[in-house]
Amino acid sequence: MKETGAQAILICALVFLFLILPIDVIEVRDESGARIFCASGDIRYISRNSIYGVTVSEVWAIDSGVITIARVTSAPIVLDYYGIETYQVNPDGTASGTPENLRYNEVRMKVVTRGEQKLEVGRWTLEMSKNFEEGTVLIIQAKKACG
């Protein structure tokens, strides 16, 4: 009986810690400061490169409240543009690599229709050009919780 009671207490303590500990989230606000989007999960920013006209997929990570571009997938020439010298060519002809030192306290992004910008966080997707007027500036930050 004591083991069951101890196990129950341990489970309750772990659940409590899970509920009170903040988790990393991505928060998107407009220039007025109004929150538009806040979510947690795997983070991916997808857009169309304005120079080469190809799709670019960035995997973002949060590290100590800083947004880091952890991986980029696109045409090899775009990875060159990012300064990624070592990358893997995928079967579909795209290339994937890890940039060095692309860390941001915040990302300010201007919405452009031709950019086909999309931010995916967990199961949520924010399609920027479909939801905001051309020229709208969005501010993206890593936070410890939505609040």
pLDDT of residue 23: 67
Query: Is the Cβ–Cβ distance between 26 and 126 less than 8 Å?
Result: no
91-130 pLDDT, tens per residue? 999 999 999 888 999 999 999 988 899 999 999 999 998 8
Higher pLDDT, 114 or 58: 58
Name the pLDDT band for 77 (thresholds 50, 70, 90): very high
pLDDT of residue 106: 94
What number of other Cβ atoms are within 10 A of residue 142's Cβ?
22
Per the document, the length of the chain is: 147
Query: 115 by DSSP, 3-state: which?
Result: helix
pLDDT of residue 114: 85
Query: Is the Cβ–Cβ distance between 145 and 66 less than 8 Å?
Result: no
Give the whole-angstrom CA distance, residue 80 versus residue 122: 28
Mean pLDDT in residue range 12-33: 70
pLDDT of residue 115: 83
Spell out the residues 6+ positions from residue 62 whose beta carbon is closer than 8 angstroms to its own: 24, 26, 43, 68, 142
